[in-house]
Chain A
């Protein structure tokens, strides 16, 4: 068991990893599993482990207890398959080989759903809504249509809900619907570097799969691509072994939207309000997407409507080619294999950004690879030499005009709708680059007013306008907020913590490739370049806030001093009366004159 885990699992995940990082990887189509009727290796292992150990002799138990890792690394462990005797039997290479096979991606994810954000019933409903809304917004923006989004959650029983998400997007061509919703790793966004919410094309199909796993029911997709076309309704399931859609029913239907897409899924879930709820998520979506109009209908509560704040759609995100500084060896080899360029020089200048023919020549010179080599003939060593040659040549940073941001004005408007505060400000940093990927940071804060005072600030994190709800503490954004010296702006902060103030902090990273720490896309990875930019944005916000807070302090001080006049002038009157024996009337007159003299001298 140990051996197969060691060999197979990493191989599988390595493949998966390459898929996630390679913009040029082949379509997510995977050959169907050779023996779909048998149990997956993962399941088998977990089942096998316990009895094997239970049946082991004391000496062996002691050994395995002593060092589980040693056992896994060096010693072939007793295997379930051959464990017909009490002791069990070892497997030879042939026996092991007989059990080695491809794992269906959908099957893998079915068993590892926590990676995609479906690990608890409360989180599942949020993730399903999130994936659908992300897709809807992406589609609307790509088509240049103002997004109208409707989210409905219907309670069917205590732990069973129907989730409906409907948009006014361009709709999906009939033939594509099954693949988009019923096949993991299928999508348009993975194959190019371009700013969007979704990236890998797993999200919505994972939601479909979760629905299927917990209810056994198909999902219903309605889509219409224009007034000339009829809307089309599908009932879909996923064949988790084959990673392929199964269409249960389809046909034309009447739909009052001229174009758009609607998905209905049932799932086992728990719907609750609060910090990490669908409510909170949509609330934050509205914050970062002032161009969207969002309706939300939830069980046992009033419908919520976030009206569109701006008719201005974000400028379309422009796809760019990868930059040499960010490319990894495996990716480069993949790109070489699939390139249609005639030679490696043409390949470099054609498939990377900022690679002119001259720079490509220089790179190849350093790498000692003949410029005329055919791309598919480039060896692994040559590819590695090319990677090592990139940093030796000065290459322009990638273009950054491909990014689309919310903008300072709209961020402030959004926050103004969110809360009645005393002070708002927003900063959009100029775009810059981490590991060859362009990115751009925005930060905004609201301070004072209706916000509660002695509490840790509310931090809203966004990546490409999509709210990040979970894993706040693992996120580079949180790290940057904590490492900003808020005290110098007049805001309380304990060491190594978020500041304590009546304040909302909003930070968004826009990038063609946001580096997440995991597939569920909840936390931004800790790249120094990114943290530095976030801090710069926060510091600018902080300086403006500091000026505001100090102005407030000055005004309070002035008021206090004015109150001094009322407090202490009468005592001057009393003293003079006592010393000089003047009349009460004269004393009053002196006090009045003095108050007048002093107040005239102060202009508030």
Chain B
């Protein structure tokens, strides 16, 4: 989107507010409701889509602080866009320290207002001039990334097989990257530990794939990278996470269909083609994995997923799997496979699973 367009959107909203004030009315701003209750899941679309319920923030004595902060955040965004500058979320928080009484006390407060502004305009924060400082994930394997040299602007070919025992870091902005690969699939891994093991034994060579480490819940950049890579190279995405409610409903679900909180952006930050390789509840039984009991918070997370999450509500297979997990009352980590030998995962587990991708959970 052209920067002048973003700037114009902000100006329009501010004008509306001013006009209401001049008319002696209380100004209001309309935001899409950012919650799981306001999203729906349609497999055709492939991500959690906003249902369109809005919340209106009218300026009253109770809301005056947030209202003022939202407007000041919009002003900051316009300034960034107009001057072609950027600010990290943390920097934006520090900028607010100059706003006297309207300053944010903690960064989560400024992040929330930033999310509100994104939702208000249906834009993502990069378009508004804000960037996250979170790391985007790591890549190893048969992939060449085409980037540009910062100084000269000359094309750069980054070969992800040439990082030795290290890996390529996904940058915060991935829109301008291009790819070359002859790998057969993407293996997306939850933990850095498992990623390290697979890199160390050059598993990408054995299996002819690209390895991606998410390091927990995938960042927007990581999700966008996987999406673009998968779309452009026509590669299937297999997800390998811990066999627990967090791995299933937070990590996998967010990667595949997006989140409830940033539903206005799910269209860009989702990977609908992702499939769940493991660890499935059935794996725990089949491979006789060592387990830990589910904690109360795990059980609550699983029950919430079954009750309110449109994605799981849509897939009977997932409901059965989660019910099976809750029924067993246990969870198993990826590394639990080490029970059968450190390289059991490479020699046995992954090859066995990959023989039947059609059996992966949706």
What 1/0 flags go to B64-78 for Cβ under 8 Å of A?
Answer: 110111011011001
Flag if B61 contacts A569 (CB, 8 Å). Answer: no
Is there an interface contact between A575 and B24, defined as CB atoms closer than 8 Å? no
Q: Please measure, in the bound complex, the distance between the C-alpha atom of A567 and the C-alpha atom of B59, giving whole angstroms.
A: 14
* A576: Cβ under 8 A from any B Cβ: yes
Contact B72 A567 (CB under 8 A): no
Please tell me which one of the listed residues A562, A580, A602 contacts residue B14 in the complex, with CB atoms under 8 A apart.
Answer: A580
Chain A residue contacts of B170, Cβ below 8 A: none
Asked if B282 is an interface residue, CB under 8 A from chain A, the answer is no
A574 to B21, CA, bound (A): 14
- Decide if B158 is an interface residue (CB 8 Å cutoff): no
B14 touching A565, Cβ below 8 Å: no
Contact of A569 among B18, B64, B75, B100 (CB under 8 A): B64
Whether B15 is near chain A, meaning CB under 8 Å from some CB there, is: yes
With known contacts A593-B24, A597-B26, A565–B71 Cβ distance under 8 A = no
Q: With A568-B102, A580-B14, A590-B21 given, is the CB distance from A575 to B61 under 8 Å?
A: no
Query: Which chain B residues lie closer than 8 Å to A565 at the CB level?
Result: 61, 64
Residues of B within 8 A of A593 (CB): 21-22, 24
- With most chain B CB atoms within 10 A of its CB, the pick from A568, A601, A602 is A568
The yes or no answer to A474 lying at the interface (CB within 8 A) is no
- Which residues of chain B are near A575, meaning CB under 8 Å? 14, 68, 71-72, 74-75
* Contact indicator per residue, chain A 387-405, by CB within 8 Å of chain B (1) or not (0): 0000000000000000000
Report chain A residues within 8 Å CB of B64: 564-565, 568-569, 572, 598
Within residues 3 to 36 of chain B, which ones have a CB less than 8 A from any CB in chain A?
Answer: 10-11, 14-15, 17-18, 21-22, 24-26
Cα distance, A247 to B29, chains bound together (Å): 97
In this assembly, does A487 line the interface, its C-beta being within 8 Å of a C-beta of chain B?
Answer: no
A568 to B61, CA, bound (A): 10
From residue B21, how far is it (CB to closest CB) to chain A in Å?
5
* Best-buried of A561, A594, A598 by chain B (most CB within 10 Å): A594
- Separation of A396 and B72 alpha carbons in the complex (Å): 77
Q: Is the CB of A602 within 8 A of B61?
A: yes
**Is B101 interfacial (CB 8 A cutoff)?**
yes
Residues 529-566 of A at the B interface (beta carbon under 8 Å): 561-562, 564-565
B99: interface (CB < 8 Å): yes
Chain B contact surface mostly:
helix
Q: How far is the CA of A575 from the CA of B13 in the complex (A)?
A: 12
Contact in complex: A571, B68 (CB < 8 Å): yes
Interface core residue of A580, A596, A598 (most chain B CB under 10 Å): A580
- Cβ-based interface call for B62 (8 A): yes
Q: Does B348 contact A (CB under 8 A)?
A: no
Q: How large is the interface on B (under 10, 10 to 19, 20 to 34, 35 or more residues)?
A: 20 to 34
Q: Is B88 an interface residue when CB atoms closer than 8 A count as contact?
A: no
Residues of chain A with a CB closer than 8 A to B65's CB: 564, 567-568
Does B127 sit within 8 A of A, measured CB to CB? no
Contact partner of B72 (CB less than 8 A), chosen from A561, A574, A582, A590, is: A574
A562 to B60, CA, bound (A): 11
B79 is an interface residue with CB less than 8 A from chain A: yes
Are the C-beta atoms of A590 and B75 separated by less than 8 Å?
no
Closest A residue to B70 using CB positions: A575
| Most interface-central of A562, A574, A575, A596 (chain B CB within 10 A) | A575
- Establish whether residues B61 and A579, one from each chain, have CB atoms under 8 Å apart when the complex forms: no
A567 in contact with B101 given A576-B71, A598-B26 (CB within 8 Å) = yes
Provide the residues of chain A in CB contact with B17, threshold 8 Å: 572, 576
Q: Interface residue count for A (Cβ, 8 Å)?
A: 25
Please give, as numbers and ranges, the residues of chain A lying within 8 Å of B69 by CB-CB distance: 571
Is A578 close to B, CB under 8 A?
A: yes
Distance of A189 Cα from B125 Cα, bound (Å): 89
CA distance A571 to B100 in the complex (A): 9
Q: Which residues of A contact B24 (CB under 8 A)?
A: 593, 596-597
Cross-chain contact A601 with B99 (CB below 8 angstroms): no
Interface secondary structure of A, over-half rule: helix
* Cβ contact within 8 Å between A580 and B11: yes
Nearest residue in A to B61 (C-beta to C-beta)?
A561
Distance (Å) between the CB of A523 and the closest chain B CB?
50
Shortest Cβ distance from B200 into chain A, in angstroms? 53
Within the assembled complex, what's the spacing in Å between the Cα atoms of A576 and B27? 12
Question: Across the interface, which residues of B come within 8 angstroms of A594, CB to CB?
Answer: 21, 59
The answer to whether A562 touches B102 (Cβ under 8 A) is: no
- Minimal Cβ-Cβ distance residue in A for B10: A579
Beyond A580-B18, A594-B21, is A564–B78 a contact (Cβ under 8 Å)?
A: no
Q: Which of B79-130 contact A (CB under 8 A)?
A: 79, 99-102
A-side contacts of B59, CB under 8 Å = 572, 594, 598
- Smallest CB separation, A585 vs chain B (Å): 13
Docked complex Cα distance between A602 and B64 (Å): 13
Q: How far is the CA of A602 from the CA of B60 in the complex (A)?
A: 9
A597 to B100, CA, bound (A): 23
Most buried by A among B18, B59, B71, B101: B18
Q: Which residues from A are CB-within-8-Å of B18?
A: 576, 580, 582, 590
Q: Is the CB of A601 within 8 A of B26?
A: yes
Which partner residue on chain B sits nearest A569 by CB separation?
B64
A568 to B74, CA, bound (A): 16
Nearest Cβ on chain B to A598's Cβ, whole angstroms: 6
Q: Which residue of the partner chain, among B10, B11, B101, contacts A571 with CB atoms under 8 Å?
A: B101
Contact A578 B26 (CB under 8 A): no
Q: A562 to chain B: which residues have CB within 8 Å?
A: 61
Across the interface, do A572 and B67 meet the contact criterion of CB distance under 8 Å?
A: yes
Residues of A within 8 A of B78 (CB): 578-579
Q: Which residue of B lies closest to A602 (CB)?
A: B61
> What residues of chain A lie closer than 8 Å to B68, measured between beta carbons?
568-569, 571-572, 575
Q: How far is the CA of A590 from the CA of B19 in the complex (A)?
A: 9
Q: Contacts of A598 on B, CB cut-off 8 Å?
A: 26, 59-61, 64
B101, A568: Cβ atoms under 8 Å? yes
A597 — nearest CB in chain B belongs to which residue? B24
Docked-complex contact B102 and A571, CB < 8 angstroms: yes
Which residue of A has the minimal Cβ distance to B103? A571
A residues 582-604 touching B (CB-CB < 8 Å): 582, 589-590, 593-594, 596-598, 601-602
Complex Cα distance, B230 from A72, in Å, reads: 100
Name the residue among A571, A578, A580 with the largest chain B CB count within 10 angstroms. Answer: A571
Interface-central residue, A574, A576, A602, by most chain B CB under 10 Å: A576
Interface residues of A in 54-78 (CB under 8 A from B): none
Q: Are A578 and B21 in touch, CB under 8 angstroms?
A: no
Query: Measured between alpha carbons, how far is A582 from B68 in the docked complex, in Å?
Result: 17
* A564/B21 contact (C-beta < 8 A), A574-B72, A576-B71 known: no
Residues of A within 8 A of B60 (CB): 598, 601
A571 & B62 in contact (Cβ 8 Å cutoff): no
Interface string of A432-469 (1 = CB under 8 A from B): 00000000000000000000000000000000000000
Report B308 CB to chain A, min CB distance, Å. 34
Q: With a CB–CB cut-off of 8 A, which chain B residues contact A568?
A: 64-65, 67-68, 101-102
Q: Nearest chain A CB to B186's CB is how many angstroms away?
A: 43
Question: What residue in chain A is nearest B14 (Cβ atoms)?
Answer: A579
A589 CA to B24 CA in the complex, in Å?
A: 11
> Chain A residues near B67 (CB, 8 Å)?
568, 572
- Set of chain B residues within 8 Å of A567, measured between Cβ atoms: 65, 101-102
B residues near A589, Cβ cutoff 8 Å? 22
Q: Which residues of B contact A602 (CB under 8 A)?
A: 61
**Which residue, of B21, B26, B67, B75, has the highest number of chain A Cβ atoms within 10 A?**
B21
> 19 more A-B contacts (CB under 8 A) besides A561-B62, A567-B101, A590-B21?
A562-B61, A564-B61, A565-B61, A568-B67, A569-B68, A571-B69, A571-B102, A572-B17, A576-B14, A576-B17, A579-B11, A579-B74, A579-B78, A580-B14, A582-B18, A597-B21, A598-B60, A598-B61, A601-B60
- Between A and B, 21 residue pairs with Cβ closer than 8 Å are A565-B64, A567-B65, A568-B64, A568-B101, A568-B102, A571-B71, A571-B101, A572-B59, A572-B71, A576-B14, A576-B17, A576-B18, A578-B75, A579-B74, A579-B75, A589-B22, A590-B22, A593-B24, A597-B21, A598-B59, A601-B61
By Cβ-Cβ distance, the 8 closest A-B pairs, closest first, are A575-B71, A571-B68, A578-B75, A579-B14, A571-B102, A568-B68, A567-B101, A561-B61
